[in-house]
Structure 1
Amino acid sequence: MAMAIQVLSPELVLQIAAGEVIERPASALKELMENSLDAGARMISVDLERGGIGMIRVCDDGCGIPQQELALALHPHASSKIRSTEDLASIRTLGFRGEALASIAAVSRVRIASRVRGEDVGYALTWPGGTLEPAPLMHPLGTTVEAREVFFEIPARRRFLRSERTEFQHCLDCFRRLAIAHPKIRFCLHQDGKPVLDLDPALDLESESERLALLLGSGFIDSAIHLAGEHLGIHLSGWFIEPRHASSAASPELWLVNGRTVQDRLLRHAVRQAYADVLYGQSRPRYVARLAIPPASVDVNVHPQKLEVKFRDAPSVHQAILRLLRSAWQKGAAGPVAIPTGTACPPDTGAGSGASGQPAFGKVREDRLDAGSSLAYLRDIATPLSIATEPGRLGFALAQVGNAYIVSESANGLVIIDFHAAHERILYEELKQALQSPSLAAQTLLLPIPLAFGVREVDALLSWREPLRELGYDLDATGPRSVQLRSHPALLEVTLAVSALEKLAQEPPDASSPDVLIRVFQEVVADLGCQGAVHAGRNLTVAEMNALLRTLEQTPSGDFCNHGRPTWIRFEYAELDRRFHRGR
C-alpha cells in the first residue's frame, strides 16, 4: 500500500541536506577552512583525530563571530555573505549558502568558540548536548570550530567511511588544495597530536614555489615553469609541466578559479588541447593553474559541494587558456633549456670549427646548397628554407654526427639537434597552416572512389559534410553502408585523405565539436610531416644545416616534434668546464 505524502521533520531535512554537503570528514574540513578564509584569517590551524572521524578542529585568527550571532550560525541557510539574488549572481566568497555549519551540526557534535575584535572575552556553545545560549570563555581573536564523532547519529552513513588512514589522506588532499590556492595564508596541520605540515606565508614567487615543492614534491616544481598572461580580461597564471618532463603517471591537474578549487572538464580540455602536439606518447600534462575572472562571469552555485562551475562565456574562457598556453610553447618558454642573451657567435664560414677551415669532426660537406639538395624538395607545400647570416638561439652548425644529429655552437654552449625531429615540426606547422587556409585547393578525382563503412560511420561522415566540403572533400552516400569520394584536399594524397575520413568516422556519435575535426586532421598532417621530413642517414651540407636551424627558430613550438620528442638539447660551457674540472 502506498504511503501518504507528508512534510518531513526538520531533523530529517537537515540530515538529508547534510548528506549532500558532508560526504566524509574531508568535506567538513573543506567547509570549515573555507569559512576561515572568508573571515579574513591570516593563520589557519587544523587538528585531526583518527583521520577526521574522531575529531576535526579548525582554529583561525579571522574576524570572529559576535555573541548574538553564534546560535544563528547553526541555523540552516543563515549567512553573512549574501543578501539578495543579485549577490548570488556575483559571488566573491568561497561559501555563500549558509548550510555548512548546520550540516556539520546535523551529523556530528559541534562546539564553536569565538571572539571578535574589541571584546575582552569570547563566547562558546555546543550542539547537540548543550545549550544554544553562548557561554563566556577566554579565547584569542578569531574562531575555533570543533566537530567530533562525524556521522555518530547516522550509523548507516558511518559504515561507508573508509579506514582512518584513507580518511586522513582525503583530509590531507583537501588541506593541500586550499594551501595551494591561498599561498599568503599560514596553514598548520596536526594528526593525533603530531605535526604534519607547517606552511609559512608565501609572499613572492620564489617562496611560493618552495611551498609548492613541500606540498606536491620537488619533482613537480623542478620540471615546471611559471606562466602568466591575460586575454579577453581573463588572467591565467600557474605552474605548468614542461612537455619534455610530462609522463603517463598520475599527476596533479589542479584548477583554481578565483581562489576556489574546481573540477571542470572545459578547463582540463583546454590544457590538454594546448599540450596536444608537444607531448610524447601517452604523457599527460601536470599543472597548478589559477584563473582570475570577474565574479559575474562565472556561476559557482551549480554543485552541492561547490566543486564545479559554469562560465557564462565558456568558449571565450576556453580560447583564452588555449591561446595563452600555446603562445608560451610557441615562444619557446617551455623549451628544453632557457636561452640567455649573449654575444653573437662568429659568422658561418661554411666549415667546421677548425682553424684551417677543415671540419672539426663528423660528416661535414662543403657542397653548395642548390635546388636539388635543399630540404625544401621534400614537400612542394613547404616554403624554401632561407639561409641566415645572423645566429639565433640555436647558433651556427659545426657538424653532422651519428647520421642523425647536428652539432652547433651558440653563445653559451653546444647545441645538439635531431634534424629529423626538427624538420618534422617545421613541415607539420607549414601543413597545419596550409590546411587552415580559406583557399585550400581540392583535387577532383577522375573516377569516384567507393568507401565501405558501417551504418553509424556513414551517418557520422554525412553529419560532417559541410565542414569537410570547406576542406576540399566532396562525398555522397550511395547506400546505408557506403559513400563515394569525388574530391579531396590537394594537400593530402588519396590514401591519407581516406585515412582521415576513416578516423573521423570512428569518433563517438556526440563528438560534434569542431575540435574533433581539427584534431583528426592534425593527426593526419602529423603523419604526413613525419613521412616527408628528412630522415637519419642523409648527409647534410653546412648550408642546409644552418637553413634548418634558422627555420626551426622561427617555427611555433619548435622545441618539440609533433610527437612530443625534443628537437634539441644544449650543453652550456659552464657545465662542460665543470665536467673537465677547468678553473680549479
Structure 2
Amino acid sequence: MPAIHKLPEVLINQIAAGEVVERPASVLKELMENSLDAGSQSIEVQLMQGGVKQLRISDDGCGIDKDDLALALERHATSKIATLEDLEAVGTMGFRGEALAAIASVARTRITSRATGAEHAWRVTEREREPAPAALNTGTVVEVEDLYYNTPARRKFLKSDSTEYGHCDDVFRRVALARPSIGFQISHHGRVNMRLAAGDTERRTREILGDDFMAQARPLLAEAGPLRLSGYVSLPAYARSNRDAQYFYVNGRFVRDKLIQHALREAYADILHGSRHPAFALFLDMDPAGVDVNVHPAKTEVRFREGRAIHQFVFHAVTHTLASPVQAAVIAPVGTALRYFGPTEQTALAVEEPGTFAYTRTDGFARTLPIQGFAPTPFEPRHEASQRPPSLDALSNLSSRFNSAQYAPQGLPQTTQGAPLGYAIAQLHGVYVLAQNEAGLVLVDMHAAHERILYEQLKAVLDGTPGVQRLLIPAVFNASKMEMATAEEQADVLMRMGFDVAPAGPSELAARSVPALLARANTADLLRALLAELRDFPASEVIAARRNELLATMACHGAVRANRQLTIPEMNALLRDMEATERADQCNHGRPTWVQLTMNDLDKLFMRGQ
C-alpha cells in the first residue's frame, strides 16, 4: 500500500473540474450565473466551435475589484457566503467558489473587469495571477479558450461542434427565461443566433417556447403563505414526445427535482396518457431557507425542507389551472369587460389587437395575453359554492337529460354570449356536433366530450354512495372461466362501483344493477372491460391506485357512441355539461374535445375580403 500523501493543488482543481465542467455548456452556465449575481442588465455570449475553441461572456455588472481578481481564480474563494447560516439560506446563483478555479484548471482563462467607480479595468489569466491594467468600459468579460487542452482524455468525450452548441443554447435559454428583465444575446462564429430584449415574463416565454406553446398554454398564479407559483402550463393538445419544453425554477434557479416532477405528472395524470409529456414554464418563489441548493455541484438538484407541502402546493395549483371549466375563445368588442375564473380572479379589458387583451391582476401587475381561455361575463361576486364538487342529486343521468329540452329552446337564440360553446345547429356523420357561438363555429367530438363528462361525474360520486340503477330485467351475458372467477373474487369492488353481478349459470354472469350514470351503456361490454382490468390487478391496494384507470374504462363504455343520432336538445345538453365540467377541453386520453373556428378563420377558407 503506497503512503498517504496530499494531492497537488492543480490536480485537486482538475478533479473538481470533472464535477463542475462536464462540457462547454457547464462553463456557460456557471459564468452566466456569475453575471446575474453581479447585477447585470445585459449579458452577451460569443462561442466558437460550440464553445470548445472559445467561450466569451461579457456583462455590464458591478465588476470585480483589482484586489479580488486574483482570488477569483482560487478554489473556495467567494463573495457570496461567509458562514454556515449564509449557506443555509443562499439567495444567489453561485456560492461554492469552485467554478472559476475548476475552469481555469482545464482551459486557458482570462478575466477582464472594471469595478464600479474604478478608473480603469484590470486583467488576470490562469497563468498570470497578478492583475495588469486593461481597457474595458464597464462590467466583466470572461474568456475561456481551448477547453480541456491539458487533459486530452477528457476532450475526447466531447461531441461535435453542433452538438456542443446545442447544449450551450439550452443553457442560454434556461437562464434567459428566468430573467425577463435582463437583455441577452448569443452568437456562434460571429453570427447572432438569438437576441432577447428586456421585457416581461409573457414576452420572454413566447420568445423561448414559441407562439404554438402560448396558444395552447394557460397562465398560472397561486399563492399560499410564503409560497408563490407562477408561469404557464400547456394543455394536452400541446403534449410532446420528450421533455425538452419543461422549465421549472426555484427562486430563479433551473432545477430538475424528482419531487416536483412527480407532482406535475400527477397533475396531468387525468388528461395525458401514454408516452406524451406536457410543456410548462413555472417559477416557484419561496424562502431560501426552505430549500437546500447545496446538494450537487451542478446545482440542478435541490432538497426541500417541507417536501410534502411543496409537492401538494404544486400539484393542486397545476391541477386547478388545468381543471377550470370550458371558456370559449371569444372575440370580444373593444372595451368589453372580461373575467377569468382561474387560480386567481383576473379582470381584463379587450384591446385593438385581434385575439389579445390587456388585464390587471389583483396585485396590480399588467399583462397582455391571448384571449383564448377568457369569456365575457358580468361583474358578479364569485360564489365559492360553485367550486365544490356537484352533489349526487345534481349528477343525474346525462342520457335522460338528453331526452328533455330544459337547456335550450329548439331555435338558435339571438345571442350566445352566456354560452361559451354556443348552441347546436347540426350533427355531422353521427360523430361531430356543430355549434354556433359569438366567435363563429364550434366543432365537438361528442364521444370524447361525453366520456370526459362521465369520467368527472364518476370521480365526484365514487367516494360517496354511487347512484345505482336497478335493472328490471338482469343483463345476462356469456363469460369465460377467468371472468367468472374474477367477478366472484372482486364482488365487493364491483359493488362499491355500483355493479351487482352474480353467476347465472356455469358460464354466464347476470348484472342486476349498474351505476346510474352508465344506465344507457352496453352492460356486457362494460363489465367485460372492467373484469379484464381487475383480473390483471387483483390486489385491493393496486385497484385503489388504478381507480382513475378503472373509471376511465367505465366512462369510455358509457359515453355516447359514434353514429348515434342526437336531437338538437340533446346536443345542447352536451354543450352545457361541457361548460360546467372540469378538464372538458380534452378527453381522458389527452385529445381535444372541441375546436373553435372563428369567423376570420372561415372567411380565410373562402378568401372573403381578399
Per-residue deviation, 1:284: 2.0
How many Å separate the matches in 2 of 1:429 and 1:193? 55
The residue correspondences of 1:74-89 to structure 2 (distance < 5 A) are: 74-89=73-88
The residue correspondences of 1:250-269 to structure 2 (distance < 5 A) are: 251-269=244-262
Q: Deviations over 1:562-581 (max 9, x none)?
A: 12222222333343345455
User: Residues 393 and 62 from structure 1, CA distance in 2 versus in 1: closer, same or farther, beyond 3 angstroms?
Assistant: same
2:402 and 2:569 in contact (8 A); partners too: no
1:112 and 1:143 in contact (8 A); partners too: yes
Q: Deviations over 1:89-118 (max 9, x none)?
A: 111111011111111111122211111111
Partner of 1:72: 71
User: Residues 503 and 115 from structure 1, CA distance in 2 versus in 1: closer, same or farther, beyond 3 angstroms?
Assistant: farther
The residue correspondences of 1:398-547 to structure 2 (distance < 5 A) are: 398-437=425-464, 498-504=531-537, 520-547=546-573
User: Residues 490 and 112 from structure 1, CA distance in 2 versus in 1: closer, same or farther, beyond 3 angstroms?
Assistant: same
Per-residue deviation, 1:504: 4.1
Q: Deviations over 1:142-196 (max 9, x none)?
A: 1111222222222221222222232222222212221122122111223233333
Partner of 1:571: 597
User: Residues 173 and 579 from structure 1, CA distance in 2 versus in 1: closer, same or farther, beyond 3 angstroms?
Assistant: closer
1:108 and 1:153 in contact (8 A); partners too: yes
How many Å separate the matches in 2 of 1:285 and 1:204? 19
1:225 and 1:241 in contact (8 A); partners too: yes
1:22 and 1:104 in contact (8 A); partners too: yes
1:232 and 1:320 in contact (8 A); partners too: no
User: Residues 148 and 401 from structure 1, CA distance in 2 versus in 1: closer, same or farther, beyond 3 angstroms?
Assistant: closer
User: Residues 178 and 431 from structure 1, CA distance in 2 versus in 1: closer, same or farther, beyond 3 angstroms?
Assistant: same
Partner of 1:306: 299
Per-residue deviation, 1:502: 4.4
1:15 and 1:103 in contact (8 A); partners too: yes
2:16 and 2:102 in contact (8 A); partners too: yes
User: Residues 538 and 320 from structure 1, CA distance in 2 versus in 1: closer, same or farther, beyond 3 angstroms?
Assistant: same
Partner of 1:242: 235
Matched to 2:447, the amino acid is H
Partner of 2:100: 101
Per-residue deviation, 1:549: 2.0
Per-residue deviation, 1:303: 0.9
Out of 44-53 and 195-204, give the one that drifted further. Answer: 195-204
1:54 and 1:150 in contact (8 A); partners too: yes
Partner of 1:188: 185
Partner of 2:406: 387
Matched to 1:60, the amino acid is D
How many Å separate the matches in 1 of 2:305 and 2:211? 37
Partner of 2:350: none
Out of 45-54 and 554-563, give the one that drifted further. Answer: 45-54
* Secondary structure of 2:546's aligned partner: helix
Matched to 1:211, the amino acid is E
> Is 1:208 the equivalent of 2:204?
yes
Root-mean-square deviation (CA), in Å? 3.7
- Gapped regions of structure 2 (runs ≥ 5): 331-371, 379-394, 409-415, 469-479, 484-489, 499-512, 519-525
* Secondary structure of 1:179's aligned partner: helix
1:404 and 1:418 in contact (8 A); partners too: yes
The residue correspondences of 1:265-344 to structure 2 (distance < 5 A) are: 265-279=258-272, 282-332=275-325, 338=372, 341=375
The residue correspondences of 1:156-175 to structure 2 (distance < 5 A) are: 156-175=153-172
Per-residue deviation, 1:450: 11
2:105 and 2:126 in contact (8 A); partners too: no
* Secondary structure of 1:75's aligned partner: coil
Q: TM-score, normalised by structure 2?
A: 0.74
Partner of 1:147: 144
1:46 and 1:190 in contact (8 A); partners too: yes
Q: Deviations over 1:30-51 (max 9, x none)?
A: 1111111101011112222222
- Gapped regions of structure 1 (runs ≥ 5): 345-373, 442-448, 453-464, 474-488, 508-513
How many Å separate the matches in 2 of 1:219 and 1:570? 16
Per-residue deviation, 1:451: 8.2
Q: Deviations over 1:345-385 (max 9, x none)?
A: xxxxxxxxxxxxxxxxxxxxxxxxxxxxx992769xx9999
Partner of 1:229: 222
> Is 1:124 the equivalent of 2:98?
no
Per-residue deviation, 1:228: 2.8
How many Å separate the matches in 1 of 2:605 and 2:73? 66
Partner of 2:112: 113
How many Å separate the matches in 1 of 2:467 and 2:377? 43
User: Residues 470 and 114 from structure 1, CA distance in 2 versus in 1: closer, same or farther, beyond 3 angstroms?
Assistant: farther
* Secondary structure of 1:198's aligned partner: strand
How many Å separate the matches in 2 of 1:319 and 1:385? 41
* Secondary structure of 2:228's aligned partner: strand
2:70 and 2:124 in contact (8 A); partners too: yes
2:404 and 2:569 in contact (8 A); partners too: no
1:407 and 1:415 in contact (8 A); partners too: yes
* Secondary structure of 2:173's aligned partner: helix
Q: TM-score, normalised by structure 1?
A: 0.77
* Secondary structure of 1:71's aligned partner: helix
